[in-house]
Amino acid sequence: MIKMDRAEASEKIKSHCATIAQEMMHVNPAVNALDDEETQTAIYEASYELTKQLEIIKKRVIKLERGSGASADESTEL
């Protein structure tokens, strides 16, 4: 296990979330080529949900960085 402090962990999490989100943008053109509306719809919906979850992760990390105490509530609001 890699030992890191909170700031390093926060940056690593935000960076990886951004990388995943960027890679997901490359999925959309490939989905268009599947030529199956039901499959395309399911993939687009799953992709959207994944993107939402990545944003929640990033917001929670930012909230923790700001000292708001991420454990205080389950909100996804900044």
Residue range 40-60, pLDDT digits in tens: 999 999 999 999 999 999 999
Residue 1 domain flag:
no
DSSP 68: S
Mean pLDDT (the chain) is 88
Domain for residue 38, yes or no? yes
pTM: 0.75
pLDDT at 77 over 60: no
The pLDDT assigned to 46 comes to 96
CA distance 8 to 23: 22
Question: How many domains, in total, are found in the chain?
Answer: 1
Length of the chain counted residue by residue: 78
> 52: domain range?
12-64
